[in-house]
Chain A
């Protein structure tokens, strides 16, 4: 899939400043998203995956949030440097977003069809009638039966799965180039999740948008994504083709994460675990942020922070283990003992 790049994020840093100090929620994120491609961002609670997505659209409240550094290039234009006016034209039009809980992002007292139509009138300058018709069409497209009737209903009259479909219809109404989906199926049951994922894939084929798919569920990554970035403590620690990461994870954290999943198709006596807990974002260690929990940690891991290095043709990993320095460090340790 050698398509053109639609979104490029360079060294994105968002910190939060409070009386406890500075929390480095997003601390140097780089990635590119191509047309028609899905990039998964996966990690556990607090790793900064949602903050990354909010930072891209500049939706972080400031204060306490603080944009520290980086560029977000949409077709080469930097969103960071844009005025609020310019940005408003892009949000919901060229880049849209869907969230985990549709009920909190829908207006509870306005019919859902009206809410979709509003975006169309605002961004595409359609008339009331045209916008309504397109809105009904979008509701049909996401597989809701009797869309004319449903468009007139208010969010509480719809089920959770249907509300999430409405969110997708709304996000895609203006045929965006980038869709950011932040845990869109986490609150749904698996059979409904399967429906929603299928619709997203189908619409991606039709519209050709790039998707940034934020999730904690590695299974969903395997279903949906072409590329995957694994986040830990505000940074991407491994960036891979999705098809490779599960067979051959490189970063010890990724290995631990995959090992700790119970398998659906085989029996295991005991699950692999990752010892310890995530370091506090207020006080990241000097060296590798995973070193404390890592079974391969040596002196260099504790002393110096690793960078995201190229590994082979298609992989990047933030780990000393794949460098000569680590080999030397290990050798020294062996000698000492």
Chain B
């Protein structure tokens, strides 16, 4: 899979993306406080693949998704969709491109208008993006409902009449309505019960095959990520610490944080899990991230070098990059 990817041209390129948020001052002479939610990340998204971004709360994974779509205006850096720079586009141009990049959020109820029927929502999406003339939309809507596994008569219903899993299906139908190339799934299955989550994950996989979709899958759940992804990117405090093919990441994680994260997941098969690494302390505040390597405060292998110098992302093995001064030593 990954070999073909390298030969393909990236669909989306994220270049040195930074997203800072300035906090409101609480006192008159307080210095300005800046949260560096995403602090210089680079990655490519190839057509047809699923790239997952994983990490714990506050690592910047959701912010990355939002900056790409300019739901928050990025502070610095560039995002190229088929070579066109999204941050430099006018509002009008951006609106056209957004038809190609759709997003599904964690809480579908919050992202569906409670006063519109499913029909109105799908119709509006198609009208704004001018995907189909009005007389052809009816047939398309029925087709969409079938694709996401909802009955056609549900078109006349309102969001509150559906269960959580069904609402997520509606969210997916609305994203699909405009024939996107990329779908950003921001914790799209995190709020669902396991049996419903399995249904939605199977649906996403099926739709990806049918419509040749590219997914940027943002999640904190590594077992879900393993199931759905081709490649995985691990973030910590606004930085990418590791990016790799799925199998390589899960079989041989290189960054100490990835190792700890993997070992911390409670699994049903206790015999398969290796030794548990329990990290000390909490994630530091993104208001004042540690200097040097951002993980050094919790890393069991940290040295003076880690406390002073920030490691860069290097490709240690084929398609497997890691940002750690001692990744090589630690892996052997």
Contacts and interface: CB of A to CB of B under 8 A. Distances in A.
Do the two chains belong together in a single complex?
A: yes
Interface of A: 44-45, 145, 159, 161-162, 189-195, 197-198, 216-223, 246, 256-265, 267-268, 270-274, 277
B193 A261 contact: no
A194 B194 contact: no
Given A217-B266, A265-B267, A189 B220 contact: yes
B116 to A, nearest CB: 24
B193 A45 contact: yes
B201 A261 contact: no
Contacts of B332: none
Contacts of A223: 266, 270
27 contacts: A44-B193, A44-B195, A161-B282, A189-B220, A189-B283, A190-B264, A191-B261, A191-B278, A192-B56, A192-B282, A216-B194, A218-B194, A218-B268, A222-B268, A222-B269, A246-B268, A256-B195, A260-B194, A260-B197, A262-B227, A264-B222, A264-B226, A264-B250, A264-B267, A264-B272, A270-B205, A277-B163
Contacts, number: 113
A191 B295 CA distance: 13
A58 B157 CA distance: 39
B266 to A, nearest CB: 3
Interface in B188-203: 193-195, 197-199, 201-202
B308 interface: no
B303 interface: no
A264 B194 contact: no
Contacts of B195: 44, 256-257, 260, 273-274
B187 to A, nearest CB: 13
Contacts of B269: 222, 246, 263, 265
B313 interface: no
A261 B201 CA distance: 11
A44 B194 contact: yes
B206 to A, nearest CB: 9
A256 B265 CA distance: 21
Given A264-B223, A271-B198, A190 B282 contact: no
B57 interface: yes
Contacts of B205: 270
A144 to B, nearest CB: 10
Contacts of A221: 268
A271 B201 contact: yes
Contacts of A161: 282
Interface string B101-131: 0000000000000000000000000000000
B276 interface: yes
B155 interface: no
Given A219-B267, A264-B272, 19 more contacts: A44-B193, A44-B194, A145-B281, A161-B282, A189-B56, A190-B222, A190-B265, A191-B260, A193-B266, A216-B194, A217-B266, A218-B194, A218-B268, A222-B269, A246-B268, A257-B194, A258-B268, A271-B198, A271-B201
A261 B194 contact: yes
A162 B228 CA distance: 33
B168 to A, nearest CB: 13
Interface in B221-265: 222-224, 226-228, 247, 250, 260-265
Interface in B259-317: 260-270, 272, 276, 278-279, 281-283
B264 A216 contact: no
Nearest to B206: A270
Nearest to A162: B282
The 6 closest A-B CB pairs, nearest first, are A219-B266, A260-B198, A262-B227, A189-B56, A194-B264, A271-B198
B176 to A, nearest CB: 20
B297 to A, nearest CB: 12
B165 to A, nearest CB: 8
Contacts of B222: 190, 264
Contact of B202 (A191, A195, A264, A270): A270
Contact of A191 (B56, B201, B250, B268): B56
Given A45-B193, A260-B195, A273-B195, A191 B227 contact: no
A92 B283 CA distance: 31
Contacts of A191: 56, 260-261, 264, 278-279
Nearest to A189: B56
A258 B247 CA distance: 23
Interface string B57-88: 10000000000000000000000000000000
A195 B278 contact: yes
Given A216-B193, A219-B267, A265-B272, A273 B199 contact: yes
A271 B201 CA distance: 8
Nearest to A265: B272
B69 to A, nearest CB: 25
A165 to B, nearest CB: 11
A28 B32 CA distance: 59
A198 B282 CA distance: 15
Given A189-B57, A270-B202, A273-B199, A262 B278 contact: no
Nearest to B280: A195
A153 to B, nearest CB: 14
B266 A261 contact: no
A161 B280 CA distance: 11
A194 B276 contact: yes
Contacts of A190: 56, 220, 222, 261, 264-265
B114 to A, nearest CB: 21
Nearest to B57: A189
Nearest to A256: B195
Given A189-B56, A264-B223, A219 B202 contact: no
Contacts of A218: 194, 268
Contacts of B270: 222-223
A273 B227 CA distance: 14
B271 to A, nearest CB: 10
A267 B226 contact: yes
